[in-house]
Amino acid sequence: MAVESLEGSWRRISVMNQETGEWIPIPPNVIYEKYISPTHFCWVNYDIERDTLLGTGGGTYILDQESATYTEDIRFFLPAGSQLLGQTIPFDVRFEDGNWHHTGFSKIFEFDPETGENVVKDSSKIEEIWERTDTPASQDGLIGTWELESFRGQGDSIRSDYPEFVSYVKLITPTHFVWVHYLSEQDQVLAEGGGTYSYDGNTYTETLKFVYPSGSGQVGTVLPFNCRIDGDKWYHKGYIIIHTEDQDGSSTVDTVTIDEIWKPFTGLGSS
pLDDT level of residue 270 (50, 70, 90 thresholds): very low
Answer positive or negative: Cα dihedral of 55, 110, 187, 270: negative
Using CA atoms, how far residue 45 sits from 29, 145, 161, in Å, is 11, 20, 31
For 117-130, the pLDDT digits (tens) are 665 676 899 999 99
∠ Cα 236 188 150 (to 5°)? 25
Using CA atoms, how far residue 188 sits from 39, 192, 194, 223, in Å, is 22, 12, 18, 27
For 226-237, the pLDDT digits (tens) are 999 999 999 989
pLDDT exceeds 90 at position 243: no
**Three-state secondary structure call for residue 152:** coil
pLDDT exceeds 90 at position 81: no
∠ Cα 169 75 262 (to 5°)? 15
The whole-angstrom separation of Cα 34 and Cα 41 is: 7
144-264: CATH, from 3.40.50.300, 3.50.50.60, 2.40.128.490, 3.40.640.10: 2.40.128.490
pLDDT exceeds 80 at position 252: no
Chain centroid offset of residue 229 CA? 22
- Higher pLDDT, residue 129 or 218: 129
Portion of the chain with pLDDT greater than 70, in percent: 84
pLDDT at 90 (0 to 100): 95
- Higher pLDDT, residue 185 or 23: 23
pLDDT at 135 (0 to 100): 62
DSSP string, 33-80: EEEE-SSEEEEEEEETTTTEEEEEEEEEEEEETTTTEEEEEEEEEEST
pLDDT exceeds 70 at position 39: yes
Mean pLDDT across 213-219: 84
Q: Kindly list the domain boundaries of the chain, sorted by start residue.
A: 8-132, 144-264
pLDDT exceeds 80 at position 80: yes
Q: Which of 48-57, 177-186, 192-201 has the lowest mean pLDDT?
A: 177-186
In 3D space, the residue among 188, 190, 197 whose CA is nearest the CA of residue 211 turns out to be 190
The whole-angstrom separation of Cα 190 and Cα 198 is: 26
pLDDT level of residue 2 (50, 70, 90 thresholds): low
- Specify burial of residue 197 (Cβ count, 10 A radius: 0-12, 13-18, 19+): buried
8-132: CATH, from 3.90.1150.10, 2.40.128.490, 3.40.50.1820, 1.10.3720.10: 2.40.128.490
Average pLDDT over the chain reads 87
Identity of the amino acid at 6? L
Residue pair 130/11 in contact by the 8 Å Cβ criterion? yes
The whole-angstrom separation of Cα 42 and Cα 129 is: 16
Q: For the whole model, what pTM was predicted?
A: 0.86
pLDDT at 222 (0 to 100): 93
Residue pair 176/133 in contact by the 8 Å Cβ criterion? yes
**Three-state secondary structure call for residue 68:** coil
pLDDT level of residue 250 (50, 70, 90 thresholds): low
**DSSP H or E run through 1:** none
pLDDT level of residue 160 (50, 70, 90 thresholds): confident
Question: Does the fold of domain 144-264 match that of domain 8-132?
Answer: yes
What is the DSSP secondary structure assignment for residue 84, as one 8-state letter? T
**DSSP H or E run through 181:** strand 176-183
∠ Cα 89 91 93 (to 5°)? 160
For 45-58, the pLDDT digits (tens) are 999 999 999 999 99
Helices (H) and strands (E) in the chain, counts: 0, 18
The whole-angstrom separation of Cα 41 and Cα 173 is: 10
For 97-143, the pLDDT digits (tens) are 989 999 999 987 676 676 666 656 768 999 999 999 876 545 568 89
pLDDT exceeds 90 at position 164: no
